[in-house]
Amino acid sequence: MKTQEVSEDAVGRRVSCDGERGTVRYVGPVPPTAGVWLGVEWDDPERGKHDGSHEGERYFTCRHPTGGSFVRPKKASFGVDYVTALKQRYEVKLQEVIGEELTISSKTVMMVGFEDVKQKQRLENLTEIGLRRCEVSGPGPENEIRNTTPLAQSLDLSGNLLSSWEVLAAITEQLESLQELQLSHNRLSISSEPSRLSPAFSRLRVLSLNSCALTWTQVLHCAPMWQKLEELYLADNDITELQRPERVLQTLKVLDLSNNHIVQETVLEISHLPCLEKLNLSSTGLSVIQFSDASPGNKTALFPALKTLLLDDNNISEWRVVNELEKLPSLLHLSCRRNPLQQREKNLETARQIIIARLSRLELLDMRQVLSDERKGAELDYCKMFGLAWLKAGGHREPEKNVPNTEFTSEHPRFLALIQKYGAPEEGELKEQIPFALKNQLLTVTFVCPEDSERKPIEKKLPGSMIVQKVKGLLHRLLKLPGVELKLSYTCSQMAGREIEIDNDLKPLEFYSVEEGDRILVRWS
């Protein structure tokens, strides 16, 4: 768009300048300078200088105090139409290849065999179209898109210069087979009549709107456009308070709300979506989930179809949150990495075992499959770990006397089912739970060199979470044996006469059940 063509109609349009995108909020003079200026609100507020005010005069408003600046029209690009971008993206690349002469070992040869490539990539045959960051701002001449890419099923328009849903609909209504649409990093003004635009998205199944500065209210307002949508990606938006979707998004199977600061008390507003199978709530500040409609040991009516739940990088610090997840009737896959809950346990493998024991149907945890042997071991260890607490709470090995108090059954809703499955743990197997403190995590062990009688035993206090590799590094220094391959095993008083090999350098001492007072045998060759 040339300078003389810039008018007030440009307000609301999208522009790019030096690789940054923004929205025109003002067109006109900025005294005392002469000529026309564009007042731009930048997507990245770091690009701007002010909030739309200059020398005490307000010209436009911005969401961010440093989100705005003025630029001359000649420095701003208003973008190109869809077909122009398409030809720049695809046809130029083919022309660089088809029939090109190459010099190989001083001989000139013709490129052959590229006619098949040309045929395959003919625009009208494309089913997947990628126009990310191609400065697309509109549809272009009437019906040209329909005639140019009639078979398009997947379209990536992320990071372009589309200004509104109406402009977008003018593109997609010509793509009658479109099922997947990527729109991340755009700023689309909201339509006043979204349902009127629904024919333009009639076959749409997958929609990505990451980093589009959307609120949940705006999403629900737009939702009538997407009547058959199955997957909706809304990461890194301005979503805070959720409201219940009424007569919209009812076909949704996948919903990504990650990297939004969500008010956790409103999460259950989306729990009635009947088809929702996968929900991503990672990095949302979540610390509590509670399904008050179901008592411990029973299933909730909420999230009826939810199979996969992602809770990574949140503030979950209580095991009762995991207990609540056991109430979900369909949950099979869970990811909850990098939460205070695991950090508090210090040993990630121990935390993993506790989660597995508390969630009876889990098949995948933190992207790792839960095998039957791992589940059995986790559940047995769980019974031993909390067996003393069970007895103190009124539990008993005789079924008719086994009536632990409500506090225990609320904290461990699966415990009674587990001892019914495996039997109550023997008294010698029970482990006392010690509150976390560094001094409680240190084990006093004695290093012994059985094949070198001249070396005296060495007593050390080590954290149970210390991996074997680091133990060997310590021994190399203590024994002054650099570069020698060490072989470790240990003995304990409870299993007199038995020597247990420590054979995995990446496991912690706790993995091998090394306990206070044990002797670690050190050998080398």
Q: What pLDDT, in 10s, does the model give residues 177-186?
A: 999 999 999 9
Identify the pLDDT of residue 441: 67
Task: Summarize the chain as % helix, strand, coil (round to 5).
Answer: 30, 20, 50
Question: Percentage of the chain with pLDDT > 90?
Answer: 67
Residue 513 pLDDT greater than 70, yes or no: yes
Tell me if residue 92 falls in helix, strand or coil.
helix
Identify the pLDDT of residue 120: 42
In a domain, 61, yes or no: yes
Q: Mark whether 381 and 446 lie in a shared domain.
A: no
In a domain, 6, yes or no: no
Identify the pLDDT of residue 480: 87
Identify the pLDDT of residue 219: 98
Q: Mark whether 145 and 193 lie in a shared domain.
A: yes
Listed residues 75, 110, 145: the one ending a domain? 75
Provide the mean pLDDT of the chain: 88
Q: What is the pLDDT averaged over residues 189-210?
A: 96
pLDDT in tens, 353-409: 999 999 999 999 999 999 999 999 999 999 999 999 999 999 988 888 899 999 999
Q: How far apart are CA 278 and CA 258, in angstroms?
A: 12
pLDDT in tens, 209-234: 999 999 999 999 999 999 999 999 99
Confidence band of 206 (pLDDT split at 50, 70, 90): very high
Confidence band of 111 (pLDDT split at 50, 70, 90): very low
Q: What is the pTM of this model?
A: 0.76
| Dihedral angle of Cα 514, 516, 519, 521, to the nearest 10 degrees | 40
Candidate from 171-175, 297-301, 462-466 with smallest mean pLDDT: 462-466
Phi-psi region of 185 (alpha: psi -120 to 50; beta: other; left: phi over 0): left
Q: Mark whether 233 and 364 lie in a shared domain.
A: yes
Domain of 236, CATH number, reads: 3.80.10.10
Q: Mark whether 36 and 86 lie in a shared domain.
A: no
Listed residues 422, 456, 490: the one ending a domain? 422
Identify the pLDDT of residue 332: 98
Tokens of 180: 């997947």
Domain of 71, CATH number, reads: 2.30.30.190
In a domain, 462, yes or no: yes
Residue 98 pLDDT greater than 70, yes or no: no
For residue 523, the cross-strand partners are 487
Q: Mark whether 367 and 384 lie in a shared domain.
A: no
Residue with tokens 């709530």: 281
Q: Mark whether 353 and 388 lie in a shared domain.
A: no
Total domains present in the chain: 4
In a domain, 110, yes or no: no
Identify the pLDDT of residue 5: 60
Q: What is the pLDDT averaged over residues 5-20?
A: 83
Q: What is the pLDDT averaged over residues 135-160?
A: 95
Domain of 507, CATH number, reads: 3.10.20.90
In a domain, 227, yes or no: yes
Q: Mark whether 406 and 455 lie in a shared domain.
A: no
In a domain, 172, yes or no: yes
Containing structural domain, residue 58: 13-75
Q: Mark whether 298 and 210 lie in a shared domain.
A: yes
Identify the pLDDT of residue 45: 87
Residue 328: count of CB within 10 angstroms of its CB: 24
Q: Mark whether 281 and 412 lie in a shared domain.
A: no
Q: Mark whether 172 and 318 lie in a shared domain.
A: yes
pLDDT in tens, 244-266: 999 999 999 999 999 999 999 99
In a domain, 102, yes or no: no
Residue with tokens 């190399």: 476
pLDDT in tens, 34-71: 889 999 999 998 888 899 998 889 999 998 899 999 99
Q: Mark whether 323 and 258 lie in a shared domain.
A: yes
Q: Which amino acid is at 247?
A: R
pLDDT in tens, 432-491: 555 444 445 688 999 999 998 889 999 999 988 888 989 998 998 888 887 788 999 998
Q: Mark whether 362 and 386 lie in a shared domain.
A: no
In a domain, 177, yes or no: yes
